[in-house]
Amino acid sequence: MTMTQLSLIDRIESILANWGAEGSGQPGEDAWKALAKCPNNQPVTLVNFFKMRDSALYPKDFAAAQSNISGQEAFQRYAAVSMPSLEKVGGKFLLVAPFGKTFIGTAEEWDLVAIGSYPNPSALLSLFELEAYREAYIHRIAACSDQKVSLCLG
């Protein structure tokens, strides 16, 4: 294992400690392990599929829970922080668009597709290390009734 991979593992462990248990729309341990195995000069891309709730579902102790907003509005609160955060760490969006239709394969229903590309695994980890991004992530969780994120390497 290279020093860069050890560094990635240390950073992932720190992220997991700050973000809590997997689930609730957070990457699982297997996903983090796959990312840690990537060479640091390898681009990584995340293909995100989102299904929005009619009404955002915040934890009872969260102040925004009183605002009674739509899932779409909660997601916009997340996007207002996540989009500039992605660029701040060196990433870029290749696509953000409404989901059309499954073209090949099992039919799926989504509201939105977002494809974000990062120059390397370290840049992606940097996104999860940003305090503003971590704080905004609750809006993503409140907004989405379902989500799927695929990690693409290369």
Q: What is the mean pLDDT of the chain?
A: 88
**Phi–psi pair at 46, nearest 5 degrees:** -110, 125
CB-based contacts of 111: which residues, under 8 Å, 6+ apart? 50, 51, 52, 98, 99
**What's the pLDDT at 50?**
98
Domain-by-domain residue ranges, the chain? 39-153
- pLDDT tens, residue by residue, 22-57: 556 778 778 888 888 888 899 999 999 999 999 999
**What's the pLDDT at 62?**
80
**What's the pLDDT at 23?**
55
Q: Using 50, 70 and 90 to split pLDDT, how confident is the model at 3?
A: very low
Which of 43-52, 58-67, 101-110, 144-153 shows the lowest per-residue confidence on average (mean pLDDT)?
58-67
Instruction: Name the residue with tokens 């969260």.
Output: 62
Percent of the chain with pLDDT over 90: 65
- pLDDT tens, residue by residue, 79-108: 999 999 999 999 999 999 999 999 999 999
**What's the pLDDT at 45?**
96
For domain 39-153, the CATH class is alpha beta
DSSP string, 42-89: S-EEEEEEEEE-SB----TTSGGGGG--BHHHHHHHHHHHHHHHHHHT
Cα distance from N-terminal residue to C-terminal residue, the chain: 20
